[in-house]
DNA sequence: ACTTTTGTAACACGACTGTGCTAGTACCCG
DNA sequence: CGGGTACTAGCACAGTCGTGTTACAAAAGT
């Protein structure tokens, strides 16, 4: 047969077909048949690339995580911690349609991972990576006086806020627009800065900031 | 046959059977057959109480929301806004096993509601109610000087934080214990109070209005 | 006592599921 | 040119799915 595309490219195409089915019809409709039809392949052909449906789903989930991580890795460096946090968080939120798709797929897999052992490890990996990222952001902000010094508490708060915003964006994309999501994050970063400086005001006598 | 229980009681028992199946095996396993077996009924008998599977699922979701709302309505009044917020939020978080179950079921339904029109209205109802509750909490706190005055922004922040914590608790119940969840909420309320008092200092010293 | 309603169970139907298996086709390499 | 590999397609099997229908027992209403 024509080896017109690489096998790994085919697998990526199939992962994207999974995403489209999940977004349009839900994860419960992402059967082998439906995904094969969505990709324009026979299901026998699909099973040449993925031996089982579980393997297909795990790959589709893994690819979502890889995309997000590679996008973060490709960001140009930003020395200012506040601007860096703002941009990293903007990269993590579903601000455009591509990331909206990733976010909905991520939510579907996250929900299923509660009872699906095959997806649990991947979900935990994404969770840990995101938490680590939040922790470094908070640490850097705190070092610059732009966040309180209770690193674990502020990490938990930022991480939960981020996932909560993502869930809300998936639930109500009409209400949570790209602007409102970005504004929510900016508001939280402002609040962190205020708290961070408050603590200094209290310890010293009185400092003016602009 | 013996009318040993009321019909509405039977429906509630079936809703609870739905929850058990969802928690144990996932929403995709909550078929008519599995739920009937879980409840100890034949599926013909189940369909006497629910004409379709969709009706069963909607009722099971509706019952979750009703439970939460009735629990909130049964709370004894608390005049102090900070303590009231703390207790309301503690009532909303999955701190014991009953609410952990509700939370997992809520997450499963929320995820499915993205593509299931029958569940969407219910999900939106729960979302709106929770947001309204957050808004009144923020409004009361702000009036008492225990939160910043930007009500919409703080409502959004509290609401997202709350749902984010709930998602995290469902994802990682081992990490997010009842204590850590309560601590996260208490931390946020403390932070709001700090900001609330800070803004008053600022507006007095050099008036920063739009 | 009779009828109606309510509850329970069981079966059949068509559709869909994941997976195993078979056959055939096009490509690459020796 | 021959053989092996990669790829595609299709079918069969044993399940499960939601739903419709039928039958039957027990309670309620008259």
Q: Could you give the CA distance from residue B109 to residue B113 in angstroms, rounded to a whole number?
A: 6
Q: Please report the number of interchain residue pairs, chain A to chain B, with beta-carbon separation below 8 angstroms.
A: 137
Rounded to whole angstroms, the distance from the CA of residue A50 to the C1' of nucleotide C26 is 21
B152-202 per-position pLDDT tens digit = 999 999 999 999 999 999 999 999 999 999 999 999 999 999 988 765 544
DSSP codes, B142-171: HHTTSS-S-HHHHHHHHHHHHHHHHHHHHH
Closest partner CB to B165 (pick from A29, A160, A172): A160
pLDDT tier at A3 (50, 70, 90 boundaries)?
low
Cα–Cα nearest to B162, from B142, B140, B135: B135
Is pLDDT of A210 > 80?
no
pLDDT at B209: 44
pLDDT at A198: 67
Q: What is the mean pLDDT of residues B66-87?
A: 95
Q: Could you give the CA distance from residue A176 to residue A182 in angstroms, rounded to a whole number?
A: 10
Cα A109-A35-A114 angle, rounded to 5 deg: 15
A119-135 per-position pLDDT tens digit = 999 999 999 999 999 99
Closest nucleotide (CA of A33 to C1')? Answer: C17
Torsion (CA) A129, A133, A138, A144 in degrees, nearest 10: 150
A131-161 per-position pLDDT tens digit = 999 999 999 999 999 999 999 999 999 999 9
CB atoms within 10 A of CB B136: 15
pLDDT at B203: 44
pLDDT tier at A205 (50, 70, 90 boundaries)?
very low
Taking an 8 Å cut-off on Cβ atoms, the answer to whether A157 and B28 are in contact is no
Closest partner CB to A104 (pick from B114, B195, B199): B114
The residue in chain A having the minimum alpha-carbon distance to the alpha carbon of residue B189 is A157
Strands of chain A, DSSP E: none
pLDDT at A199: 55
Q: Record the tokens describing residue B18, joined without a space.
A: 């739905």
Whether CB of A95 is under 7 Å from strand D: the answer is no
Q: What is the mean pLDDT of residues B40-52?
A: 95
Give the 3-state DSSP-derived string for B30-90, with helices as H, strands as E and coil as C.
CCHHHHHHHHCCCHHHHHHHCCCHHHHHHHHHHHHHHHHHHHHHCCCCCCCHHHHHHHHHH
pLDDT tier at B210 (50, 70, 90 boundaries)?
very low
Residue bearing the bigger pLDDT, A156 or A201 = A156
Q: What is the mean pLDDT of residues A22-48?
A: 96
Is pLDDT of B139 > 50?
yes
Q: Could you give the CA distance from residue A106 to residue A16 in angstroms, rounded to a whole number?
A: 13
Q: Record the tokens describing residue A137, joined without a space.
A: 């952001």
Taking an 8 Å cut-off on Cβ atoms, the answer to whether B167 and A115 are in contact is no
pLDDT at B2: 45
Percent of chain B with pLDDT over 90: 87
Least confident of A147-151, A206-210, B4-8: A206-210
Task: Tell me if B122 sits within 8 A of B55, measured CB to CB.
Answer: no
Distance from CA of A4 to the nearest CA of B (A): 35
Q: Record the tokens describing residue A66, joined without a space.
A: 């890889």
Choose, out of A160, A167, A197, the residue to mutate when testing the contact with B (most B CBs < 10 Å): A160
Contacts by A18-21, CB closer than 8 A, 24 or more apart: A18/A56, A18/A57, A18/A60, A18/A105, A19/A60, A19/A64, A19/A101, A19/A102, A19/A105
Whether CB of B31 is under 7 Å from strand D: the answer is yes
Q: Cβ contacts of residue A210 below 8 Å, gap of 6+?
A: none
Q: What are phi and psi of B96, to 5 degrees?
A: -120, 180
Rounded to whole angstroms, the distance from the CA of residue B15 to the C1' of nucleotide C8 is 19
Q: What is the mean pLDDT of residues B89-103?
A: 96
Task: Tell me if A166 sits within 8 A of A93, measured CB to CB.
Answer: yes
Q: What is the mean pLDDT of residues A14-27?
A: 97
Distance from CA of B201 to the nearest CA of A (A): 10
CB atoms within 10 A of CB B74: 8
Q: Which letter, b or e, does each residue of A75-90 get, where b requires 16 or more Cβ atoms within 10 Å of its Cβ?
A: eeeeeebbebbbebbe
Q: Record the tokens describing residue B48, joined without a space.
A: 């006497």
pLDDT tier at A203 (50, 70, 90 boundaries)?
very low
pLDDT tier at A202 (50, 70, 90 boundaries)?
very low
- The pLDDT mean for chain B works out to 92
Closest partner CB to B26 (pick from A23, A116, A123): A116
């Amino acid at each position: 047969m024509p080896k017109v595309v690489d096998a790994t490219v085919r697998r990526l195409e199939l992962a994207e077909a999974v995403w489209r089915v999940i977004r349009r019809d839900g994860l419960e409709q992402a059967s082998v048949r439906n995904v094969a039809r969505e990709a324009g392949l026979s299901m026998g052909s699909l099973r040449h690339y993925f031996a089982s449906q579980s393997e297909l789903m795990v790959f589709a989930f893994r690819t979502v995580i890889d995309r997000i991580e590679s996008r973060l890795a490709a960001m140009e460096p930003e020395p200012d911690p506040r601007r860096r946090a703002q941009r990293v968080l903007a990269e993590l939120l579903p601000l455009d349609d591509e990331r909206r798709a990733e976010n909905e797929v991520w939510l579907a897999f996250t929900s299923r991972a509660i009872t699906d052992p095959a997806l649990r490890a991947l979900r935990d990996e994404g969770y840990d990576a995101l938490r680590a990222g939040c922790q470094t952001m908070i640490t850097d902000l705190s070092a610059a006086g732009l966040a309180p010094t209770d690193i674990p508490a502020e990490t938990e708060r930022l991480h939960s806020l981020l996932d909560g915003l993502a869930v809300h964006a998936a639930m109500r994309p009409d209400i949570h627009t790209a602007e409102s999501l970005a504004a929510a994050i900016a508001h939280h970063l402002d609040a962190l800065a205020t708290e961070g400086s408050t603590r200094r005001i209290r310890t010293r006598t009185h400092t003016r900031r602009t």
